[in-house]
Amino acid sequence: MKVETFSDVLDWTRAVHRNLADCAAHCGAGSRHEKVRMLLDYVHEHETRLNRILESSQKDADPAALNSWAYEFFEKAPVRPHEACAADFKDKDTGEIINAVLAQHNKIIEFYRYMASRAEVPSTQALMTNLLELEQNEARRMARDAGELDDL
């Protein structure tokens, strides 16, 4: 995926979340453990919803921010869109799965934090700060909800 603008960064992030959703759906269907299937169903739904939120955010964002150049920052991108599914979730326990998913979210969070700190245009900095807050809140939500599932 070629990333040149902040709009491309959003496309990249959506691709990471789509991949996590697809991986969770695929691995959930193959798991023999009910808790693992339930968690992977949750991850699939959560990542799919997050992808839709990012798509909506991209449509509503300031065009000047979206069209700002980002290629020099993107070399620091810590996640490749298909990286997470290399680990087969269906053979992991719920703790290992949520840790792997949250690790992907944390990489995106750190990348957004870096992008927000380096952005020179106020609208671009605001966009990155908003995306950073979204990712942080969603990671916290996922951790909380996965913990509740594990308590069942």
54: domain CATH number is 1.20.1260
* Separation CA 148–CA 105 (nearest Å): 19
The more confidently predicted of residues 75 and 25 is: 25
Residue 83 within a domain: no
Residue 84 has pLDDT above 90, yes or no: no
Q: What is the pLDDT of residue 133?
A: 97
Interval 34-55: pLDDT, tens: 888 899 999 999 999 999 999 9
**What's the chain's Rg over C-alpha atoms?**
16
The one-letter code for the residue type at 143 is A
Q: What is the pLDDT of residue 49?
A: 96
Residue 21 within a domain: yes
Task: Report whether 92 contacts 30 (CB < 8 A).
Answer: no
Read off the tokens for 55. 């798509």
Residue 136 within a domain: yes
Which domain range does residue 37 map to?
6-77+89-150
pTM metric for this prediction:
0.87
* Separation CA 119–CA 73 (nearest Å): 9
Residue 40 within a domain: yes
Residue 33 within a domain: yes
Residue 146 within a domain: yes
Residue 70 has pLDDT above 80, yes or no: no
Q: What is the pLDDT of residue 33?
A: 86
The one-letter code for the residue type at 126 is A
Contacts for 51 with CB less than 8 Å, ≥ 6 apart: 14, 17, 18, 21
Residue 86 has pLDDT above 90, yes or no: no
